[in-house]
């Protein structure tokens, strides 16, 4: 819509400006002011009125058409004001052709229309550029895809023809044509345009890929899992469109102010007409004052003040991995007092990891992990996976184990380099009846105090190492809590884990309030408790188990993966699955509200000074504004508001490192 209006206003501006040239050149007033004269010829006296009528019909009538819906809805606004101004000037000027008057308003009329068209062109251009997020998203999806046929050949087909279950080839540098699962190949995929993730994401068989993302150097064969309106990209576009189309509380205020301004302008115009008629009698001066008042009062800037900020805000949020489903929620984020996080999968990675290792004197940590990873090589247990990942993170050699055997309820055993090696918990030690060295006993006691799980490595019947496992705290969780504290917000945590586990995590992260041993269906009651204390609360969770709490909170924020963009219980979705985006959300909300306030103050405030000037309050000292100058001032206010809104793009959403924050990459115990 904005693109169509932009084209229309641009075309009419240039044509109307061209047609205005004869009107200006043959205007007696301008000739007298500028000291020039134009050659006269038969009929030259009709140049000004004829071209003025054409400009009014071509450039002015569209404003009258757009004013009609406002009048039908009994909600007069800027189009009604513009229509009144140019209609009064037009009728008066035509009347001057048959009724003798001091002067007509033909040149003022055409310049007024030209400036109005220019102002609307600039406005539509600004809004269209700000709303370009949808256009940019739409461009991500390729037009064609290489579908692999049953005989293994490839055929180029329109991407719109793909169906669920099709196998496609994604060549290096090509865009993924639809959502799917990698069946063959390995590559790094650039997902920044969807999730905001700055670094390419490694993909291998069984990994999901998102339509519209760009493949790296490897070749992938992808089995299509979603097409058309079911894809992630389509879901994101729907959410962005809904957010840009919804109105915030501030927008509602601006709309009411624009309506009020119509009646203020109408009243001011009537007072001006009466006052000047009493002072000088009814003549062209009175009409000029009335037209100037109506032009100055046009709520152009007021109508642009909020929508432009909203459009830029939504675009920025989408590019930074924040999908806004509710505009009011985005605006309310600036007023938050407390942010409540679900623990598992939000502040933690939701997976077991090795967070500490202890060994006897003659065994190194690397050697212990090598042996444990070898024994656990064939196990799919989460502890086995954690041990293998810890060994891989250290770049350790994967040894070969034989004679693997799972010991139900106790652990596993295997032969590594001719040695009999066991890995398991305390029950394993009880069965083997081995003496536990004091070093490992003290280690186990400390781990137990932190609610961590301990498994032992036993070589040839002797315990030689112990591993502490826990749900690992995200490397960014420390920074999230510290950054929210820097913004003046309290941080709370909801979890179904025990008091010991919850308190250990809270103490590690510096969380202010802890709700432990809470069932999913009871989480919303804890949100209600905080709200009863008069706090504005945001709940951050996964959007599934936390649905009641997300709905109950003032703002529900879903931590969703890049392929889950339709979490219905949340107001805002963090596509990157990164809690740090909560900080960015608050910063963007505050910055956007400042821009809204600044624009409202300017858009409405300038009328406080401009309307009296338009009415002629300074006429006694020789200062009068013509209708054309009034139109210029009104357009200037619109340009200022548009430029100020564009500065929102410069807001710094980065979250710098804070003192005392752990370096990225360190594994941290969560429970």
Catalytic residues: 342
Asked if residue 250 lies in contact with residue 306, where contact means CB atoms within 8 angstroms, the answer is yes
295 φ, ψ to 5°? -70, -45
Comparing C-alpha atoms, which of 168, 458, 133 is closest to residue 315? Answer: 133
Asked if residue 326 lies in contact with residue 571, where contact means CB atoms within 8 angstroms, the answer is yes
Tell me which DSSP letter residue 447 carries: H
The greatest distance separating any two alpha carbons of the chain, rounded to the nearest whole angstrom, comes to 122
Asked if residue 485 lies in contact with residue 510, where contact means CB atoms within 8 angstroms, the answer is yes
SS3 assignment, position 331: helix
User: What is the per-residue DSSP string for 489-558?
Assistant: -EEEEE-SS-HHHHHHHHHHHT-SEEE-S--GGGHHHHHHHHHHTT--EEEEE-SSTTHHHHHHSSEEEE
What is the gyration radius of the CA atoms in the chain, in angstroms?
Answer: 35
Asked if residue 633 lies in contact with residue 299, where contact means CB atoms within 8 angstroms, the answer is no
Asked if residue 83 lies in contact with residue 294, where contact means CB atoms within 8 angstroms, the answer is no
| Residue 22, CA distances (Å) to 59, 141, 601 in order | 16, 50, 39
Buried residues in 356-368 as b, exposed as e (16+ CB within 10 A): bbbbbeebebebb
Asked if residue 465 lies in contact with residue 359, where contact means CB atoms within 8 angstroms, the answer is yes
The strand pairing partners of 467, in sequence order, are: 357, 455
Angle between helices 106-130 and 284-296 (to 10 degrees): 0
Angle between helices 232-245 and 300-319 (to 10 degrees): 160
CA–CA separation, 434 and 99 (whole Å): 118
Alpha carbons within 13 angstroms on the beta-carbon side of residue 245 total 8
Burial-class residue 665 by CB neighbours within 10 Å (0-12, 13-18, 19+): exposed
Tell me which DSSP letter residue 58 carries: I
């Amino acid at each position: 819509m904005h693109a169509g209006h932009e084209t229309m206003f641009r075309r009419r501006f240039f044509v109307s400006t061209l047609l205005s040239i004869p009107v200006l050149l043959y205007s007696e007033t301008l000739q007298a002011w500028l000291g020039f004269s134009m050659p006269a010829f038969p009929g030259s006296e009709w140049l000004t009125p004829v071209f003025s009528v054409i400009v009014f019909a071509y450039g002015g009538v569209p404003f009258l058409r757009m004013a009609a819906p406002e009048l039908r809805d009994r909600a007069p606004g800027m189009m009604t004001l513009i229509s009144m101004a140019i209609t009064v000037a037009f009728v008066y000027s035509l009347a001057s052709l048959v009724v003798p008057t001091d002067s007509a308003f033909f040149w003022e009329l055409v310049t007024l229309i030209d400036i109005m068209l220019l102002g609307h062109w600039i406005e539509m251009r600004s809004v269209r550029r700000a709303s370009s997020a949808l256009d940019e998203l739409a461009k991500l999806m390729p037009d064609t895809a290489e579908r692999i046929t049953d005989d293994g050949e490839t055929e180029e087909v329109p991407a719109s023809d793909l169906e669920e279950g099709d196998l496609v080839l994604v060549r290096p540098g090509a865009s993924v044509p639809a959502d799917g699962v990698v069946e063959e190949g390995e590559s790094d995929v650039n997902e920044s345009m969807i999730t905001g993730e700055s670094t390419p994401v490694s993909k291998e068989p069984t990994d999901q890929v998102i339509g519209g993302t760009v493949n790296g150097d490897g070749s992938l064969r992808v089995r299509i899992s979603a097409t058309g309106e079911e894809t992630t990209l389509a879901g994101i576009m729907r959410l962005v469109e809904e957010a840009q189309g919804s109105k915030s509380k501030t927008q509602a205020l601006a709309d009411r102010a624009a309506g009020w301004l119509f009646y203020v302008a109408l009243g001011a115009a009537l007072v001006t007409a009466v006052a000047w008629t009493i002072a000088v009698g009814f003549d062209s001066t009175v009409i000029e004052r009335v037209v100037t008042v109506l032009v100055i009062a046009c709520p152009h800037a007021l109508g642009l003040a909020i929508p432009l900020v909203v459009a830029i805000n939504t675009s920025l949020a989408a590019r930074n991995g924040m999908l806004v489903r509710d505009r009011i929620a985005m605006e309310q984020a600036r007023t938050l007092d407390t942010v409540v996080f679900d623990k598992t999968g939000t502040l933690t990675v939701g997976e077991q990891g090795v967070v500490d290792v202890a060994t006897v004197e003659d065994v190194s940590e690397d050697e212990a992990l090598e042996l444990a990873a070898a024994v656990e090589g064939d196990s799919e247990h989460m502890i086995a996976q954690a041990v293998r990942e810890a060994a891989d993170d250290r770049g350790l050699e994967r040894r070969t184990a034989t004679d693997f055997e799972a010991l139900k309820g106790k652990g596993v055993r295997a032969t590594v380099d001719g040695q009999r090696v066991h890995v398991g918990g305390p029950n394993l030690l009880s069965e083997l009846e081995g003496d536990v060295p004091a070093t490992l006993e003290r280690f186990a006691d400390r781990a137990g105090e932190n609610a961590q799980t301990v498994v032992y490595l036993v070589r040839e019947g002797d315990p030689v190492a112990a591993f502490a496992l826990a749900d690992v705290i995200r490397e960014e969780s420390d920074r999230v809590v510290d950054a929210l504290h820097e913004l003046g917000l309290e941080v709370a945590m909801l979890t179904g884990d025990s008091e010991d586990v919850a308190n250990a995590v809270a103490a590690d992260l510096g969380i202010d309030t802890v709700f432990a041993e809470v069932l999913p269906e009871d989480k919303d009651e804890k949100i209600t408790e905080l709200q009863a204390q008069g706090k504005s609360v945001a709940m951050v969770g996964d959007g599934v188990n936390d649905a009641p709490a997300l709905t109950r909170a003032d703002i529900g924020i879903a931590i969703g993966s890049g392929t889950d963009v339709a979490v219905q219980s949340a107001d805002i979705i963090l596509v990157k699955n990164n809690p740090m985006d909560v900080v960015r959300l608050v910063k963007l909300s505050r910055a956007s509200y400042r821009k809204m306030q600044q624009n409202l103050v300017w858009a409405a405030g300038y009328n406080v000074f401009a309307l009296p000037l338009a009415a002629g309050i300074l006429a006694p000292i020789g200062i009068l504004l013509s209708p054309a100058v009034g139109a210029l001032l009104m357009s200037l206010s619109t340009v200022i508001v548009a430029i100020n809104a564009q500065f929102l793009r410069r807001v710094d959403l980065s979250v710098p490192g804070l003192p005392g924050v752990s370096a990225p990459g360190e594994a941290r115990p969560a429970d």
